[in-house]
Amino acid sequence: MKSYLQFLNEQATTDSIPIRTKTISIFTERDKIDFVIEIAENQREKNIGLMYRRHMPDDQGMLFLEEREKRVSFWMKNTYIPLDIIFINSDKEIVNIYKMAKPESLETIYSIKPVKYVLEINGGLCDKLGIGIGNKIKI
């Protein structure tokens, strides 16, 4: 019998990535930065996330929506690009950032506080663009 993760790995392709997109803005101390994001709402979309991608433009990302504010965890299995993982509370304030998550790592990445949203963008962009804890977002 196959495990659920084996099933996901076999089913996941770039064709199965969510297609619903939206613009999200992050307000830093000096700028408003816009990203076109794909939205992962259901469990299948959340499980696949950005797996199997070989490239993502710097102005794009993926937003994970939770039904309620809670602590969440991620890993980088089958994710081929480094990511900055931005944890956002229900007030739409960044409460934690995990920078430069290593591709294909099995390390579990936890939110340090309960969150309602998680935004994944290309690794290194938070430092490059001045995105930090306390910044607000608008969806």
The number of domains in the chain is 1
Q: What is the residue range of 115's domain?
A: 4-138
Contacts 24+ apart (CB under 8 A), 67-71: 68/116, 69/114, 69/115, 69/116, 70/114, 70/115, 71/110, 71/111, 71/113, 71/114, 71/115
Rounded CA separation 43/62 (Å) = 14
Q: Kindly report the pTM of this predicted structure.
A: 0.85
Residue 2, pLDDT > 70, answer: no
> How confident is the model at residue 15, as a pLDDT?
47
CATH for 71: 2.60.120.1140
pLDDT of amino acid 41: 86
Strand partners, 53: none
Q: pLDDT higher for 98 or 42? A: 98
Q: What is the mean pLDDT of the chain?
A: 89
